């Protein structure tokens, strides 16, 4: 069930990425990097290098998007909860 939830949350994040104004390149870059990191972590769950990088990336993204894109921040918080639940 968690993998299904994770995929749905990542899909929501990708949809929101498409809605961000093309002038907000920093937000686009952050979200793309975050999505890539989560997908890499899922492919290589035992690789600590990805885990150590993912946690700070998620926290920074939540803070970054709280003011500019609150819905994205909510999705990121969902993502964090799912990743914690599945032990990533």
- Give pLDDT tens digits for 11-66: 998 888 888 877 788 888 888 888 888 888 888 777 766 566 777 888 888 888 88
| Cβ within 8 Å of residue 47, ≥6 positions away | 40, 41
**Residue 1 confidence class, pLDDT cut points 50, 70, 90:** low
For residue 5, is pLDDT > 70?
Answer: yes
| Cβ within 8 Å of residue 48, ≥6 positions away | none
Domain limits of the chain? 2-85
Distance CA 68, CA 30 (A): 13
Find the distance separating the first CA and the last CA of the chain, reported in whole Å. 15
Give residue 17's pLDDT: 83
Give residue 49's pLDDT: 66
Where do the H-state alpha helices sit in the chain? 2-19, 25-43, 48-68, 70-85
Query: Which pTM was predicted?
Result: 0.78
């Amino acid at each position: 069930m968690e993998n299904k939830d994770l995929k749905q949350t990542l899909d929501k994040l990708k949809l929101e990425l498409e809605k961000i104004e093309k002038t907000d390149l920093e937000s686009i870059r952050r979200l793309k990097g975050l999505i890539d990191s989560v997908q890499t972590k899922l492919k290589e769950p035992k690789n600590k290098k990805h885990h150590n990088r993912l946690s700070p990336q998620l926290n920074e993204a939540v803070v970054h998007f709280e003011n500019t894109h609150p819905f994205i921040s909510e999705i990121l918080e969902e993502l964090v909860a799912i990743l914690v639940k599945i032990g990533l």
